[in-house]
Structure 1
Amino acid sequence: MTSALAPGRPAGRRPATRRTLLRLHRPALLAWTAFVLLVAGALLWVHQSAAPRDRACATRWCAYSYTAFTDTGNVMNFLGDALCYAPCAVAAWAGAALIGRELESGTARLVWTQAVTPARWLTAKLTAAALPLLAGSALLALVFGQVWSADQDVLVTNWTWDRVFVPRGPLLPALVLFALAAGALAGLALRRALPALAVAGAAALVLRMCLRDLWQPLRGPRTGFWPLHLAATGMVLALAAAVTTAAYAVLRRRAA
């Protein structure tokens, strides 16, 4: 039994590391969970209540009073925009709280001198963050896509708009992964929480704003939502992989 354990490495170290990471970033996890539940609930309200109400009003006289917060199109557009910019918040958090703060305080180097190597430290952090982020963003993309497809007859919208194109499929989780990687790279490169927050958030924002310029040239060889969406998703995943590779390269130099 003892031969199966790595020499000099206490048993249960990795589960303890995961528990420590979850406890350390519990507020961020709770905030992300609340965001996912709030947006998913609003999308279900659109599908279950607002869209049927608008269809009923289209066939007969309706005295319902609309406001900016109850108009179906406004709510759906707001939710789409919120999902488009959510990766910017993820990048800012990853750069400041997940990586930058620990390097600035010296906590990371203290951990590296113990049983956890720098590469394993970064892998544990990225994995612990990526799992809930991917699960939540994938759920929101699925719900958004289903609601938009089912209720687009009462929505003043088009799939070519960014607020629909981005959150309607796997492009949203891909952007979240890029944001996480960008935050990690900024934190490792700058080693200070606030500058890493600003740089990582700006990088995610620039990609978000330039996203249309990235996938627009693909409209020649590809037509329709899914060919373009999947091609854009592949491009963002490639960027995320490149940024992650750069983060590990910077880590090796910092830890040397």
Structure 2
Amino acid sequence: MSTTAPAATPASAQRSLRRLHRPALLVWSAFALLVTGWLLWLHLSEVPAERACQGFHHSADGDLPGCDYSALTDAGNLFNFLGEVLGYAPVAVAAWAGGALTGRELESGTAKLAWTQSLSPARWLTGKLTAAALPLLAGGGLLALVFGWAWTSDQDALVTDWTWDRVFIPRGPLLPALLLLGLAVGALAGIALRRTLPALAAAAAVTLAVRLYLRTAWQPLHGPLHGFWPVHLAATAMVLVLTAAALIGSFSLLRRRTR
């Protein structure tokens, strides 16, 4: 007498999904906490030390007592570096989404197995995108808040300008929006190519190209729109429109291929 294994329930499928992507969640959490801590250290320790240093009178030999920081510890350099890292983080998200989130499961057949048990293709994709989007939004929002607060408080001590990408992107909601764009582009690449490495490479390349092109797209906004927030919010709206288009494309393509 043979028995058939019971079909997986939606709850068990969600638990499997969380276990599958737990390493990525841990890496993202560690990254967000590390950068947040670094920004707080710069704001609370390094920038005040540099301000105090600059307030000292020159000694007889021309040296500034206590001003021994280098290019690797200079607050301005470190803020710029962290801004660049955050600005290109969506490319890494896209590579992961294209390779691990969708491409690998479609290539290995794991996705089809889930579709034959408890999840429709649309619910499978919705669950994956939701499980990834929530931590991305939480971490990206935290990073944007801390970066924006620290830069606004310390801009007098930093050699930066809000029009620079390294400040413009991570200072507000544009950062979480770009992270979601990377997720959506990665999902679309994985569904379209159904192979891990090609989807990873294509998602990263497309997201990088969009990230670089948007610089030329939002620069003309500086004319009709004045100040950081009007331009920043307009750029965020551009990215959200692209994200919605990528998501619609992902679900449409998945539906056509699973009829």
Same fold (TM over 0.5): yes
Unaligned runs of 5+ residues in structure 2 are: 1-5, 57-63
1:162-173 map, 5 Å: 162-173=165-176
1: CA distance, partners of 2:17 / 2:187: 15
1:17-166 map, 5 Å: 17-60=13-56, 61-166=64-169
- Cα distance, 1:67 vs structure 2: 2.2
The answer to whether the Cα contact below 8 Å between 2:39 and 2:146 also exists between their aligned partners in 1 is yes
Q: Give a deviation string over 1:133-160, Cα, whole Å, max 9, x none.
A: 1100000000000000000111000000
Unaligned runs of 5+ residues in structure 1 are: 1-8
Query: Quick check: which has more Rg, 1 or 2?
Result: 2
Q: Aligned partner of 2:252: which letter? A: A
Query: Which residue does 1:181 correspond to in 2?
Result: 184
- Cα distance, 1:207 vs structure 2: 1.2
1:206 to 205, 209, 225: 209
Q: The residue matched to 1:64 in structure 2 has which SS? A: coil
- Cα distance, 1:68 vs structure 2: 2.8
Q: Aligned partner of 1:31: which letter? A: V
Q: Aligned partner of 2:168: which letter? A: F
Q: Aligned partner of 1:33: which letter? A: S
Q: How big is the alpha-carbon RMSD for the aligned residues of Structure 1 and Structure 2?
A: 1.3
Query: Which residue does 2:193 correspond to in 1?
Result: 190
- Cα distance, 1:64 vs structure 2: 2.9
2: CA distance, partners of 1:161 / 1:111: 45
- Cα distance, 1:18 vs structure 2: 2.0
Mapped pair 1:15 → 2:15: no
- Cα distance, 1:214 vs structure 2: 1.2
Q: Aligned partner of 1:30: which letter? A: L
The answer to whether the Cα contact below 8 Å between 2:10 and 2:118 also exists between their aligned partners in 1 is no
Provide the aligned length of Structure 1 versus Structure 2: 247
The answer to whether the Cα contact below 8 Å between 2:103 and 2:193 also exists between their aligned partners in 1 is yes
1: CA distance, partners of 2:76 / 2:11: 46
Q: The residue matched to 1:113 in structure 2 has which SS? A: helix
Of 63-72 and 160-169, deviating more is 63-72
- Cα distance, 1:98 vs structure 2: 0.3
1: CA distance, partners of 2:232 / 2:244: 18
Of 59-68 and 29-38, deviating more is 59-68
Identity between Structure 1 and Structure 2 (%)? 64
- Cα distance, 1:219 vs structure 2: 1.6
- Cα distance, 1:17 vs structure 2: 2.1
1: CA distance, partners of 2:66 / 2:221: 45
Query: Which residue does 1:6 correspond to in 2?
Result: none
Q: Give a deviation string over 1:217-239, Cα, whole Å, max 9, x none.
A: 21221010000000000010000
